[in-house]
Structure 1
Amino acid sequence: MKITLLTVGKTEDAYLKEGIEKYIKRLKHYIKFEIADLPELKNTKSLSEDQQKSKEAELILKKLTPLDHVVLLDEKGMELTSSQFSGYINKQMVGSASHVVFIVGGPYGFDASVHQRANDKLSLSRMTFSHQMVRLFFIEQLYRAFTIIKGEPYHHQ
């Protein structure tokens, strides 16, 4: 199985990039993982929120294949503990999913067309985080999930 984190925009802060790289290196021992950054929209001041979401949706949907299992990182998604998330990942691995794509949307969330394409929605927290920080938090949780699956001592209950 391969996992992709598809994001709108790039990580700018060096300290976040460093943390992200740390966990990507660790993840390579468990799974094929990549981050795919879509370019941020330019000249958005003349666009409404819905227009921005629609344009982002076009970019997102072009990156997906019909066989991808798509999970939106969305504030209204299911809330899981780290152990429950590891179970979710394990279920995808033993199921028929060969490619799971987790998506971080733009500042206004997802267009209806992306919601319709999604297989699942996952909330990392009831709190709102910057799109920069979500990448690090998600990748750390993904790493944690694999250590739980493998019975390694990283996660403490």
Structure 2
Amino acid sequence: MQVRIIAVGKIKERFLSDGIAEYEKRLTPYLKLSIVEIAEEKRGVHLSGSKGQIIKDGEGDRILAAIPERAYVVALDARGTGMTSEMLAARMRDWQLTGMSSIVVIIGGDLGLSDAVLTRAALRLSLSPMTFTHQMVRLILLEQLYRACRINSGEPYHK
């Protein structure tokens, strides 16, 4: 299975970069992973509602351009469906069994995702009802993908 993570912005904190690198390494035996970073839109000091929408739309256009044509798209969205780790593992197993070989998971910027990106998604997934930085979400997502792979392989993983 190929998993492409499309994420708005670069990772700035070293502790997050180190954690992300560790989980990328751990995932290598289980799936082919790629991470595509989309540039954040430039913005001024004051951000009105309409300016925020323009920013989300600009980032959304670049996200949509990075999605392979036949990919199954998962958008991380605070208003999306919540899942346990076991439920995510079962969903990933179902994708494999039904021949979905290209999965794209989208992490938006600090303003969220454009309507066009949310419309393109087959699944809107919430990692938690809590709020995390979009940079931290990348690490949390990779850990959950690793956990799901271990569950599906029947390998132990701490709870």
Same fold (TM over 0.5): yes
Secondary structure of the structure 1 residue equivalent to 2:103:
strand
The 4+ residue runs of structure 1 with deviation greater than 3 A are 43-47
Question: What is the Cα deviation at residue 141 of structure 1?
Answer: 0.4
- Report the residue type matching 1:26 in the other structure: R
In structure 1, C-alpha distance between the alignment counterparts of 2:137 and 2:14, rounded to whole Å: 15
- Report the residue type matching 1:115 in the other structure: L
> What's the TM-score once normalised by structure 1's chain length?
0.94
Question: What is the Cα deviation at residue 44 of structure 1?
Answer: 4.7
Task: Count matched residues.
Answer: 156
Alignment-derived partner of residue 64 in structure 1: 67
Alignment-derived partner of residue 101 in structure 1: 104
> What's the TM-score once normalised by structure 2's chain length?
0.93
Alignment-derived partner of residue 17 in structure 1: 17
In structure 1, C-alpha distance between the alignment counterparts of 2:97 and 2:151, rounded to whole Å: 15
Secondary structure of the structure 1 residue equivalent to 2:12:
coil
Secondary structure of the structure 2 residue equivalent to 1:75:
strand
Alignment-derived partner of residue 4 in structure 1: 4
Q: Give the conservation status (yes or no) of the 8 Å contact 1:70–1:102.
A: yes
More displaced stretch, 41-50 vs 104-113: 41-50
1:113-132 maps to which residues of 2 (within 5 A)?
Answer: 113-132=116-135
Q: Give the conservation status (yes or no) of the 8 Å contact 2:39–2:59.
A: no
In structure 2, C-alpha distance between the alignment counterparts of 1:111 and 1:55, rounded to whole Å: 8
Identity of aligned residues (%): 40
In structure 2, C-alpha distance between the alignment counterparts of 1:132 and 1:150, rounded to whole Å: 28
Question: What is the Cα deviation at residue 109 of structure 1?
Answer: 1.1
Structure 1, gaps ≥5 residues long:
none
Secondary structure of the structure 2 residue equivalent to 1:127:
coil
In structure 1, C-alpha distance between the alignment counterparts of 2:44 and 2:58, rounded to whole Å: 10
Aligned-residue CA RMSD (Å): 1.3
In structure 2, C-alpha distance between the alignment counterparts of 1:155 and 1:100, rounded to whole Å: 26
Alignment-derived partner of residue 133 in structure 1: 136
- Report the residue type matching 1:62 in the other structure: A
